[in-house]
Structure 1
Amino acid sequence: MNDALSLLYTGDLHLGRHPSRIPDDLDGPGLSPKAVWLSAVREAIEQDVDAVVVAGDIVDQENRYFEAYGTFEDGIAQLDDAGIPVVVVAGNHDYEALPEMVDNLDSDTLQFLGRGGEWERWTLEEDGEPVVHFDGWSFAAEHVYESPLAEYELSGTDDVPQIGVLHADLDSRGSRYAPVLSSDLRDTAVDAWLLGHIHSPGIRIDSRPLALYSGSPQPLDPGEQQAHGPWMITILETGEVRAEQIPLASVRYDQVSVDVSGVDDPQEATAVISAELKDHVRADLDASSLELSLVRVHLTGRTAAHSALVDQHRSMERDLGFREGSVSVRIESIDVDTRPEIDLEALAEGENAAAYLANLLLEIENGDPRDTYGEVVEDSLMAVRQAHSANAYNPLRRETELEEPGDADAIEHLEQQARVLLDTLLSQKEGNA
């Protein structure tokens, strides 16, 4: 290999889905995964990469095949015209749809590896000489309970780089989505493992072999925080493999904590939140491709506006929005974790309802409330589980896996309600006085 090789790598496109929680007035096709896929294609052509690699879940589900087909075909045609080969494997979402799609596409350069759950190698050649091997495996069913690496027997090479392409669940024993272990990846002769399945991008093994998840190029829900986009993989003449993310996503989800200690009312809190979010956009975000920043705001601190924030945070979520440069900033949700300006220790010395609540809150802050308030925690747990099972959450369950609430959720709910009730009792006492 005389020169460095470059690969544009992505995965989990989920063509046919759309990011959640997008405000109606800002929504449009430009915020879809399809738009980011075509942006990645343009990037590959502009950078004149040697190949594009897509690590599975190109189509979101079989019933979105036709919605995804045209966009994927458009990207493949552009890469075909540029003479850039594309290596793909199937994931758990497109194990049926992707093979059919590949068979229907008229492309000379599209390489589908691992059909039927069998390892397969394709070699990129230059002037008749091999320059890099791609070893790939594809899902043949929705669920795979055994590690695909148990059947990986493709031989190593002395001087030609090997790239493994695999849709799998790394270091998650018992997973039904092709569980593999980092130790097993390290035991192979592969120089880099390009993985799909996990939507949060990042390097998982920062050594030989390099192993990383591209993540979804466009984040799809608030759980997929931080920057997203394809990766540029560079294989140097020395054999060293380098990876650098290209932040092409037009949507970004984040969480920002805002201390509103000393704030007297929600209007003042709004000003503090806006200032914090502007600083966040300026300091932390790459705005070159970004169009929308959706932020989950976590409010902390002791404030006289605690009850008003609990009562009004939903309207604040709807109303608080602005532009910072080319980026629209909106609130995805506001989590009110503030505390009233109350001396709980002094209040707890009484014998009334306020003292009971003060003692409960002190126990939550400093210990395990189940020891003293077990029945109250149990009642709270039943309440949050009943809310979790409500029909209103059925659409969300179909899109994501919602875990059943546990003790931590019950205690968080109990704490918030106790603080609101205590603040109300003290407000009534002040009014009567």
Structure 2
Amino acid sequence: MLPIKRLLLTTLILGLPLPALAATESIVLGMGCFWGAEKRLSEIPGVLDVESGYAGGDAPRVGYRDVLDLEKRIQRGKSDARNHAEVVKVTFDPAQVSLERVLIGFWENHDPTQGDRQGNDVGSNYRSAIYWETEAQRQVAFATRDTYQAALTTAGYGPITTEIAPLRHYNRAEDYHQDYLTKNPDGYCGLVSTQVAYPGQPAKPVAERLVASALNRERQLIVFEAEDCRFCEQFRAEVLDDWSSPVPVVSTLKAQPPAGWRLEKTLFATPTMVLFEDGREVSRYTGYKGDKDRFWAWLGFQILTPEQQRIAFEQGTERAFTGSHLDEKRPGVFVDPITGAPLFRSDTKFDSRTGWPSFFNPLPGALTYHEDRSRGMRRTEVRSASSGIHLGHVFDDGPPPTGKRYCINGNVLSFVPDGH
């Protein structure tokens, strides 16, 4: 997609006739947050430029802060002024793409039945809107609305709430809002489409709502994702793809939990990881930017006992001969209690007679090592590489072949027997 100025410069450099640029058309559309609208509509072949802006309000001149401040006053009942909507001005070449096709992209890429909101963004400034400049545009806007309404009704959606009105008081948005998701690929986009195809267009893959009977009602982690969500992809690659935690996990593109389950509040970003117990939200972790340790710590505080938390997150130590697994001798693997990642095999465990489970060798890459000068001593602390939790210390008084003694708090180990 070439912005108009760049297209003009390219035309001059190539010596193309300027009249070829005159046959362009523009229409102003509101789809909620203009960052996502700009990205989605710029991908339509034949669209030459998509500019973020504000339109449809009473004030002739506004900026981003003006729109936000007025919306706050409206919500508090302190103003009855008509606010501007976040919009995009779509400029296209009618020789390459029709207005109808542009509006099909508009209808399919957001939910036009939500009133003064779009996805997780709430307020009249996020309303769905088509602001036309010619009678021909008005006719196409209403015709495509009626066609898409029939498809939505068949799919079980309510009436379209899109405002279709003459364009007034259009203001270009600030420079930092232009091409926002191109400049900030990790930025938030709150657009959630209905996934209903416009009649005559290829059917869209539909994300099915999770079925409660297929989940663990006692304790279940649900990851709410979105299309075109770079952080969702990062979380999947860094956490979900190797998931072995004892907490069952499932992902969904739907913003709703299974029927009969309850979210405590609306989702506002993706990915959002919500922990449910007995079908009710008990905690959530919103957003992800490569902060694995923070995510695992959040989950750990939900599933570990207070004593386990004290050891794992406060470098605590259980009293000698009181921890778990001291006498565990079955073939198997000791794992991180949060991530389920393997730490030690039982055939490396030995009786150190110290009162703590002891091992002479960890599994490759299972631990990280840290200098510890607490309590007037100089020791080497060991933590789980997968979750970062404190496990214990390593000393140089162990048996052959390593000569090491990994002195570990049994209460922050889980044991998985071979064959399970």
TM over 0.5: no
Which of the five TM-score ranges fits, normalised by the shorter chain? under 0.3
- Structure that is richer in helix per residue: 1
- TM-score, with normalisation over the residues of structure 2? 0.22
- TM-score, with normalisation over the residues of structure 1? 0.22
